[in-house]
Structure 1
Amino acid sequence: MRDFLLIALFALGGAACAGAAGAVALRLLRRRSVAVSLTVVAAVAVTAMLAGTLAVAWAMFLSPHDLKVVTLIAAMAAVVSLATALLMGRWVVARSRDLAHAARDFGEDGSFAAPPAPATAELAELARELASTSARLAASRERERSLEASRRELVAWISHDLRTPLAGLRAMAEALEDGVATEPARYHRQIRTEVERLDTMVGDLFELSRIHAGAMELAPSRISLRDLAADALLGVDPLARERGVRLLGEDITHAPVDVDGKEMTRVLANLLVNAIRHTPADGTVAVAVGRRADAAVLSVTDGCGGIPDEDLPRVFDTGWRGSPARTPPSGAGLGLAIVRGIVEAHAGRAEVHNVPGGCRFEVTLPLA
């Protein structure tokens, strides 16, 4: 038993010396290729075995012949181990270079395609992560392009919508100033109407800028969506009567939510005004409030005839008006964008679905 203990100690001492030397070498070469590191590891393993064997052989006073045999065996093992480690290292380096070349495709409109050659589990996992990142970047670029296109359209439409009433205001003001207006009172009423419309447009732009800048400050309180819906229906009743549209609010239940009453009133007003303007005379706009799981759902259903499926994802985009026509009656395309911004600021979501004869806008909010 004592002999085996001595042999273990001598072998451990020789292997420890080789391991310490290998650790120093790995630290000095840590910035080099992985092939060099693998070669050093293989060399340390063989050297540790040889050092332990030589230490035991010296302690046991082996014959020179036996010592040469042991050394030769260790040398052959070292050659095979070093060659294997070098080949493995070069293979890993080659796969790493393929992955690096594939990653260089990242950039403007670039995408990532994993190399077809097999790789280690770690490199394969890295390739999958790069592919996932590439997909997210592509989606982000697409959203950026869509947002930029919406902004360009918005600027063009706002410019047109501002230029038209401003030209009319200038013409009416000049007519009043020159005394050629046959009905000054009518001119004054028209000027007031145009100014109110411009004020509404500027207010929508300011609200949208607050939403996009994240500067909207909410003052939430416990409110029932039933009360908000009833107040909103009363507010738009004159507009509905003027256009000959019937308002229905029979399917409204109590649904308490913690929201900013002023902002949520704006959401309901935008949805109802939008529905009334797109519903023909003798049509119906229905408001409903209910519960779904742990959420309150408010819906506004109109009779617009439906929205093309390809346009449904763009309904809440800034500047979208459902038509390329740049006419003032179509609005600036800000109302529904404001609706989505306010609802999402309340941790809710706004959606639109086609229904027979029209479409339904749904606002989902967490129940209080």
Structure 2
Amino acid sequence: MSDQVLIGLYSLLAGGTVGAAGLLALRLLRHRSIAVHVTVLLVVTVAAVAAGVITVATAMFLSPHDLQVVLLTVAAAVVVSLGVGIAFGRRLAAAAVWSAQARENEQRLETGRRELVAWVSHDLRTPLAGLRAMAEALEDGVVADRYTVAEYHRRIRVETDRMTHLVDDLFELSRINAGALRLTLARVPLADVVSDALAATAPLAATRGVRLVAAESGWPVVRASEPELARVLTNLLINSVRYTPADGTVHVEAGHDQDNAWFAVSDTCGGIPAADLPRVFDVAFRGETARTPGEAGGGLGLAIVRGLVEAHGGRVAVDNITAGCRFVVRLPVGA
């Protein structure tokens, strides 16, 4: 029994010394990553066991051969334990990073949802109040002259169309987020889609005094769903026209490389603030108030663009260029 007590004391002394050193190391490294903490904890645990075994083996006056066998066994156990522990620590650190990113994304999405509700509520409440007032004025006969009545009818139609577009955008975004979007892929000449999108955007561009210019050649044929691709181009063009001042230019071009077909919409809006670039495609993001036109939508157009492009397996990006910005959509050749 006395030998067992002695062995226990030797083990406790050796392990305790290593443990104390480990606690000091953890305190000094308290600001490091979780992977470092797990690695240190594992090293300390294995080292404490190894120190206890070696101390006891030495105190037992083992023969050189037996001591060598014990040491080799402990060394093998240390190597295996450290390897498994380090791998586990890395996986744990990766899981922690993923969890933090997931929480950050969730918070960002929740912020976007709150902003979306606020914007949509504002964009619906304001025109509805105006529509109600104009309808009551017409109903009560407060407005009687033909010119004013015609103007009220025109404004009612314009506001109704704007709210219809907003509801359509909300429906499209809900389909994208719910995974209910079903694409019918076919070979689509990009030149035809661009021509139709330019024709649809031309009235707005003419009203704002913005020139629409398209490249004369280089238009690839892409495999895509034509209605969704047309919406991507139209949304990009409308966005650029709205933010481009009078006498500005919106330019469309396209091309292809080894892996992707691409098209780009460039404008002379003056550029996007660097802090806003990462959020341009977020739901309900409209940028600075100074850049937000009065007829802006609900901040859904570019979010829909990103959703539709990603549904095609592609990606969309924006960068500042001289005097403006450039949106580039890339679609895989086999999309």
| TM-score normalised over the length of structure 2 | 0.76
Aligned ranges 1:95-110 → 2 under 5 Å: none
1:246–1:282 contact (8 Å) kept in structure 2: yes
Task: Select the residue among 200, 219, 222 that pairs with 2:187.
Answer: 222
Matched, 1:141 2:107: no
Q: Secondary structure at the match of 2:316?
A: strand
1:223–1:256 contact (8 Å) kept in structure 2: yes
Q: CA deviation at 1:292?
A: 2.3
Tell me what 1:155 maps to: 117
Tell me what 1:329 maps to: 295
Q: CA deviation at 1:209?
A: 0.4
Tell me what 1:174 maps to: 136
- Number of aligned residue pairs: give it: 278
2:243–2:293 contact (8 Å) kept in structure 1: no
Task: Select the residue among 86, 90, 93 that pairs with 1:131.
Answer: 93
Cα offsets for 1:248-295 (capped at 9, x unmatched): 112541312111101110110000011011101110000001112221
When residues 302 and 356 of structure 1 are mapped into structure 2, their CA distance, relative to the original with a 3 A threshold, is: same
Q: Partner amino acid for 1:160?
A: H
Once residues 117 and 251 of structure 1 are traced to their aligned partners in structure 2, the CA distance between those partners, rounded to angstroms, is 66
Once residues 224 and 327 of structure 1 are traced to their aligned partners in structure 2, the CA distance between those partners, rounded to angstroms, is 33
Tell me what 2:212 maps to: 247
Cα offsets for 1:209-257 (capped at 9, x unmatched): 0000000011111112122112211221222112111111125413121
Q: CA deviation at 1:346?
A: 0.3
Cα offsets for 1:61-91 (capped at 9, x unmatched): xxxxxxxxxxxxxxxxxx9xx98xx88xx89
User: What is the CA RMSD across the aligned residues, in angstroms?
Assistant: 3.1
Task: Select the residue among 264, 273, 280 that pairs with 2:238.
Answer: 273
Task: Select the residue among 131, 144, 153 that pairs with 1:188.
Answer: 153
Once residues 269 and 144 of structure 1 are traced to their aligned partners in structure 2, the CA distance between those partners, rounded to angstroms, is 30
2:190–2:222 contact (8 Å) kept in structure 1: yes
Matched, 1:348 2:314: yes
When residues 363 and 252 of structure 1 are mapped into structure 2, their CA distance, relative to the original with a 3 A threshold, is: farther
Matched, 1:358 2:324: yes
Cα offsets for 1:116-139 (capped at 9, x unmatched): 345222112111111111111111
2:131–2:156 contact (8 Å) kept in structure 1: yes
Once residues 248 and 294 of structure 2 are traced to their aligned partners in structure 1, the CA distance between those partners, rounded to angstroms, is 23
Q: Secondary structure at the match of 2:245?
A: coil
Q: Equivalent pairs: percent with the same residue?
A: 52
2:262–2:330 contact (8 Å) kept in structure 1: yes
Larger RCO (CA within 8 A; separation ≥ 6):
2
Q: Secondary structure at the match of 2:271?
A: coil
Q: Partner amino acid for 1:136?
A: W
Larger radius of gyration: 1
Q: Partner amino acid for 1:345?
A: A
1:255–1:367 contact (8 Å) kept in structure 2: no
| TM-score normalised over the length of structure 1 | 0.69
Cα offsets for 1:158-195 (capped at 9, x unmatched): 10111110000000000000001142121111111111
Tell me what 1:338 maps to: 304
Q: Secondary structure at the match of 1:362?
A: strand
Q: Partner amino acid for 1:221?
A: A
Q: Secondary structure at the match of 1:161?
A: helix
Q: Partner amino acid for 2:187?
A: R
Q: CA deviation at 1:324?
A: 5.2
Greater Cα shift, 356-365 or 322-331: 322-331
Question: Runs of 4+ in structure 1 displaced over 3 angstroms?
Answer: 111-114, 324-328
In structure 1, the gaps of 5 or more residues are 1-78, 99-110
